[in-house]
Chain A
Amino acid sequence: MGHPSLITIENLRFERDDTTVVSCDQLHLDVGEILQVEGPNGSGKTTLLRLLTTALQPSEGTILYCGKSIAQCRLEYLSDILFIGHQSAVKLMLTAEENLLWMATSELSSTAVLDALEALGLAGYSDIPCYKLSAGQQRRVALARLLVSDARLWYLDEPFTALDRDGVKLLEWCMSDHVSSGGAVVVATHQDLDVQGVRHYPVLGETLLRACP
């Protein structure tokens, strides 16, 4: 064990109203890995991702980023992650291009944005307000962020929702390209991924345990 893992989770627990929603004893994530978080509805996948993005604070335990607690190196950590949630954060009143320029954490050139949109099959749609796009196209706008961002860690919550077959392939290609160039991905989905080197991590919240005696 030379240097610490990219992400280390130790005895992480999250409680809501005295119910344990997420409990994770030990988890490592290294560069080049795709971690697929699996579990039935209500098992705490989204909550686990929200703990990883610091949107929620754990009740117990720590998350380490390169060996440092993410509470200590918060800004550094947050500028290295990219989260695409269940709700895509796409503003319907803005165009696809405006959305991307707006959501990027660093200054972007307009050409980079247009290239990203083209790569996701949205060429020619860049100046149309997003409410005119279909659900799948809106999802593609959100996913275009992956191409223009320089974040090392991707956290994707149900990214395949509303995507067609081509879209799924495209996203899988994006993920494998990202991990081969030194990044890592945590993805919560039910879909079987057609990508090399996916590690599975099952989560079982207490909700489920109570539901099936």
Chain B
Amino acid sequence: MRKQASNSFYAYLRRDLLLSYRRLGEAASPLIFFVMASTLVPLGMTPDLASLAKIAPGIIWVLALLATMLSVGGLFAGDYQDGSLEQLLISPQILVMPVLGKVTAHWLITGLPLTLVSPLLGLMLSMPEAGYLPMMASLALGTACLSLLGAVGAALTVSLHKGGMLLALIVMPLYMPVIIFGGATVQYGIDGLIWTAPLAILGAMLAAAIALCPLAIASVLRLTSIN
């Protein structure tokens, strides 16, 4: 009885979740980074709540972006080092589903917790109340976009063992549209405008990313990871 293609999505999702559950400390570090780095802002700038409130949406979005970017580098690194990636490449299945499963697991481990914790940061940076719901909604969609785009960069750099900096150089320009609309959603919410409009664009970006990024990742892994 052969495994179905849709099963390989769940199989990889389940395995990556299990792996990070076994190393909970490592899995939690993007979240801890997110909270820690936010304390740097009042320390480096001003404890004045009114000024902090003004920049809070942007700060929270920038930190969420950085946290995702720092964690996405390891997405394929472990599989590459222990040979699982090569096994994946020669397994009789469509590569897109396992890749999507892995990225989904990454979002569940980083993007979702970041979204859930973001009100805490909003509180600490005294963000106006009207911004909370737009912030969580935009982070939920936006971090999924960031995971997908970041995974492309992770696939491109997987065989280089350099990770971090190079990955940042590659994916940061691709992240810019996401942060524009993510930040705008929160700002619209605070200003009392219709914040679902930029959120809808963020959703459209996510839809496009779900359709295109796994294809790009699959071909990158096939073409460059084994040499």
Contact = CB atoms under 8 A, between A and B. Distances in A.
A-B complex is real: yes
A100 B19 CA distance: 15
- 8 tightest Cβ-Cβ pairs between the two chains A and B: A87-B83, A78-B92, A79-B92, A89-B83, A93-B22, A89-B84, A53-B90, A89-B87
A88 interface: yes
B91 interface: yes
A53 B3 CA distance: 20
Interface stretch (A34-42, A103-111, A171-179, A191-199): A103-111
Interface string A41-55: 000000000100111
A87 B18 CA distance: 21
Interface of A: 16, 50, 53-56, 74-76, 78-79, 81, 83, 85-94, 98, 102-103, 105-107, 129
Contact of A87 (B1, B22, B82): B82
Contact of B87 (A50, A83, A92, A98): A83
Given A89-B83, A93-B22, A105 B90 contact: no
A182 to B, nearest CB: 20
B81 interface: yes
Contacts, number: 67
Nearest to B21: A93
A56 B89 CA distance: 10
Given A102-B11, A102-B15, A55 B90 contact: yes
A79 to B, nearest CB: 4
A89 B22 contact: no
B3 A105 contact: yes
A85 B92 CA distance: 17
Interface in B23-66: 23
Contacts of B201: none
Nearest to B83: A87
A91 B23 CA distance: 13
Nearest to B22: A93
A49 to B, nearest CB: 11
Contacts of A93: 18-19, 22-23
Given A78-B92, A79-B2, A92-B82, A129 B87 contact: no
Contacts of A129: 22
